[in-house]
Structure 1
Amino acid sequence: MRITLRGFEIFKGRLDAPAQRALIAALRPVLQAAPLVSPQTPYGKAMSVRMTSAGAVGWYSDRKGYRYMPQHPQGTAWPDIPQPVLDIWDDVTGLERRPDCCLVNYYGEGARMGLHQDKDEADFSWPVVSVSLGDDGLFRIGNRTPGGSTESIWLTSGDVVVMGGEARLAYHGLDRIRFKSSRLLSKGGRLNLTLRVTS
């Protein structure tokens, strides 16, 4: 089922249970090669999510600011984006150009992500594709400028969201998760993959 909310294309249940399990299996080598880290905001506040990346570059944040880096903070190269992840991009965008970054965010119990824009990329004409795996997450969508009314929708495991066009620079965030609402991850929590063209 496809839902459009403020320009966000939300494909509910895009990935069935076997596809979700296959995606988790494809991500395990990524997490082994590039372990999850706990980033800080430029203001020194610890984020509640843990993250890593795959691709030519990875997104990171610390006291130096938000940016893409050519290496993991430990100094190793980022692993390649797994083919099943790229297949999702191909399927929902139909674009020949592929992403050069797959940011992987892990939300444990109590984790959240405040309203923000994805604006560290060089060209906003390319969409951002988001994949939800694991526990349900309450996704909130705002406007292209701070403030104003917002709308929310629960994203469940296997949902895919495309942020393009007018939605590309809309504020969005994740207010909370329903911890252990899914059995996909043995210890509970939510994985969110966001695919981006950075340059």
Structure 2
Amino acid sequence: MPNAIEFLFDVGSPTAYLAWYRLQGIVARTGAVLIPVPILLGGVFKATGGAPPGAVAAKGRWMNEDMARWAARDGVTLGKNPFFPVNTLAMMRMLAGLEGDAQFGAVVDTLFAGLWQQGLNLADADVLAATLTAGGHDAPALLALTQSPDAKARLMSNTEAAVARGVFGAPTCFVAGQMHFGQDRLDWVELAAAG
């Protein structure tokens, strides 16, 4: 039996976007179950004293070049979002409220595409609603989740649990209890998932 892959992510992370699409291939090849876990990256940074890689100018320049290489290699469209860093609180609450729902993956696809292919400001409620509607989703129902006490509590709980497990950024995967940080470590994730 393959091992399950826990994927802790925030849609505001371009490397999480790249990982999301790479993980689909890993799941197909290994037969592993993917368990996506929405977390709030800003909450992780606050709890750990971390900061986005772009906070260091030289690291940010390198990271942009590196992400472009990975995207080209894997055939994934990766654009620049002029609104980056984007406040993802509403989006991540929405996804926390959708955990376990059949439409979860399609909503993640829509949010990632809006941010990292179309370069939209999804922190703007009107833009977010229009993007969800264009993606074929029930925008009012999804936006209602952003104010749901259960969704808020789940996102907070997911984020606190991630920090307690040693998470300091996104994307982070756990396979068979072992942590793998970054989309550039998915080869290790695939090996672990394959058992």
TM-score by length of 2: 0.27
TM-score by length of 1: 0.26
Q: When you count strand as a share of all residues, which structure comes out higher?
A: 1
Q: Which has the higher contact order (CA 8 A, sep 6+)?
A: 2
